[in-house]
Amino acid sequence: MIVSAPSASISAQDKGFFGHPRGLSTLFFTELWERFSFYGMKAILGLYLWTAVSEGGLGVDKALALSVVAIYGTAVYMSGVAGGWLADRVWGGQRATFYGGVLIMCGHIALALPIGITGVYLGLVFIVIGTGLLKPNISTVVGGLYEKHDTRRDAGFTVFYMAINIGGFVSPLITGALADGISFHAGFAVAAVGMALGLIQYRIGRKNLRGSAAVAPNPLPPAEKGRVYGLISGVVVAIGALGVVSYLLGGVEGVILMISIMSIVLPITYFTVMLRSKKTLPEEKPRVLAYIPLFIAAAMFWLIFEQSASVIAEFADSHVDNHVFGWEFPVAWFQSINPIMIIVLAPVFAWLWLKLADRAPGTPRKFAGALVLVGLSFVLMYFASNSAADGKVTPLWLVVMFLIMTAGELMLSPVGLSVTTKLAPRAFASQTMSLWFLAVSAGTGVAAQLVKFYTTSPSAYFFTLGGAAIVFGVALAVAAPAIRKLMSGVE
């Protein structure tokens, strides 16, 4: 019989991948290639939108292009709700991950075709849907490799997180060079190849997953399938109609505003459903309540962090000197700074959490530290922006900014993945992982509206957002004991 998670004996004895279950190697390399495709495309998307047509771009207004890049991130992570639901109720995490990868590859192929804005729209739709299937569910499969109280769990997610950043480091170098040297479409094409390699890796190593998330944990009863599928069709039609109305009333900005509103409404609805559901056990409900402030903190973190591909990319393009010994390197290469820092620092943080063990700060305090650090990174950009008023500035501003931001990321992102799998009600396992990615969606949804103010006063923009994150981080640190009390039984 296929089971949805490994037994305790299998989980404890399987140490075939540097002390971790062998299945982690399969998921490590699959995620590496998927992130290669995602970050490679994202590194050149904004540049493709606002670069002049005469230089191979689409010539979109910069303020609108910044909003488009931000709202793309919103839609990508919002679609994780549907992907999590399909994994929990229909396919299981393993199949949802594979189907998502196929759609992502199709999206990059569409972007690689020289068909202008049509290729952008078509490609982004495929990637949004595909990432919604793959992203939350591959993390759920990782969690299923370990027992809930396995001390290797946080370290395993940190190792897994390194795969994201290896792909994220290499891909902008390659896609950026191709975009500069050949065309943007060549950059998108290599992203499609990366996703194809990820799919091959996944199929070859799937046997090592030992049944983790192989079947839906809360499958639809046959009698309900017709009704539920009809409801899903109705929701899809309603969202499509709302999108058309938004476009007719406000153009592209109207659609962006609609998605931003949905990014806030959706997580509120999801928390309400989980708390009111009879399938959420009494001992699980306090854990869901504990998750709410962590979710809000994560949304604030990603609001700032995810602007690397929009606001920071524009700042690098317009205000940073990208010459080394007289040679001009692609602006997209700045997007590789954060991943290489993750590669270097992730083992340090993994070792630190293992070394500290029970003496390590709890999840709420880790999140608080992350908020303070990401806030400081934008406060630093306030000074960089002021310096840029006199001309282009040294790339060292961005290097230091990414260093501070990366330290915050390592205190929040892998830890957040881990705590999500621990706090999730059993009946909502994959869907709660989708909720974690809705924090990114909510943050970028708000950012899609805020980035419009960046072009008005960059220095004020950086200082306001950075200061707000620091204040919120301090408040979360003060509330940490109360949050940990609600997490009783998990930490």
Strand partners, 327: 324
CA angle 195, 201, 205 (to 5 degrees): 150
Region 90-114 average pLDDT: 88
pLDDT in tens, 136-147: 788 778 877 777
- Which pLDDT score is estimated for 237? 87
Kindly indicate the confidence band of residue 463, based on its pLDDT and cuts at 50, 70 and 90.
very high
pLDDT in tens, 148-203: 667 677 777 778 877 887 888 899 999 999 988 898 999 999 988 888 888 888 88
- Which pLDDT score is estimated for 2? 35
- Which pLDDT score is estimated for 214? 65
The torsion of the CA quartet 134, 104, 44, 197, rounded to 10 degrees, works out to 90
- Which pLDDT score is estimated for 5? 43
- Which pLDDT score is estimated for 159? 80
Q: Which residue has the tokens 């495309």?
A: 41
Kindly indicate the confidence band of residue 17, based on its pLDDT and cuts at 50, 70 and 90.
low
Region 378-403 average pLDDT: 90
Weakest-pLDDT range from 8-12, 300-304, 392-396: 8-12
- Three-state DSSP state, 141: helix
Kindly indicate the confidence band of residue 93, based on its pLDDT and cuts at 50, 70 and 90.
confident
Kindly indicate the confidence band of residue 3, based on its pLDDT and cuts at 50, 70 and 90.
very low
Q: Would you say residue 259 has pLDDT above 70?
A: yes
- Which pLDDT score is estimated for 289? 87
* pLDDT: which is higher, 11 or 382: 382
Phi (first) and psi of residue 221, to 5 degrees:
-65, 140
Q: What is the mean pLDDT of the chain?
A: 84
Dist. CA 436–CA 138, nearest whole Å:
13
Region 24-38 average pLDDT: 84
Domains and CATH numbers, the chain: 21-219 (1.20.1250.20), 281-490 (1.20.1250.20)
Q: Would you say residue 11 has pLDDT above 60?
A: no
Q: Would you say residue 8 has pLDDT above 50?
A: no
- Which pLDDT score is estimated for 103? 93
* pLDDT: which is higher, 443 or 331: 443
- Which pLDDT score is estimated for 7? 45
Q: Would you say residue 431 has pLDDT above 70?
A: no
Q: Would you say residue 378 has pLDDT above 90?
A: yes
- Which pLDDT score is estimated for 307? 93
**Who contacts 344 (Cβ-Cβ below 8 Å, separation ≥6)?**
none
Q: Would you say residue 280 has pLDDT above 70?
A: yes
Kindly indicate the confidence band of residue 9, based on its pLDDT and cuts at 50, 70 and 90.
very low
Region 221-242 average pLDDT: 81
Region 103-130 average pLDDT: 88
Weakest-pLDDT range from 179-193, 356-370, 375-389: 356-370
Nearest to residue 438, comparing CAs of 195, 308, 259? 259
pLDDT in tens, 266-275: 889 888 888 8
Cα→Cα distances 204→25, 33, 267, 372, 429, Å: 11, 14, 36, 42, 26
Dist. CA 49–CA 62, nearest whole Å:
8
Q: Would you say residue 40 has pLDDT above 80?
A: yes
| Contact of 147 with 111, CB cutoff 8 Å | no
Read off the DSSP letter of residue 362. P
Kindly indicate the confidence band of residue 107, based on its pLDDT and cuts at 50, 70 and 90.
very high
Weakest-pLDDT range from 97-111, 122-136, 195-209: 195-209
- Which pLDDT score is estimated for 213? 66
Nearest to residue 120, comparing CAs of 49, 220, 183? 49
User: What's the pTM?
Assistant: 0.80
Kindly indicate the confidence band of residue 303, based on its pLDDT and cuts at 50, 70 and 90.
very high
SS3 breakdown of the chain: % helix, strand, coil, rounded to 5?
80, 0, 15
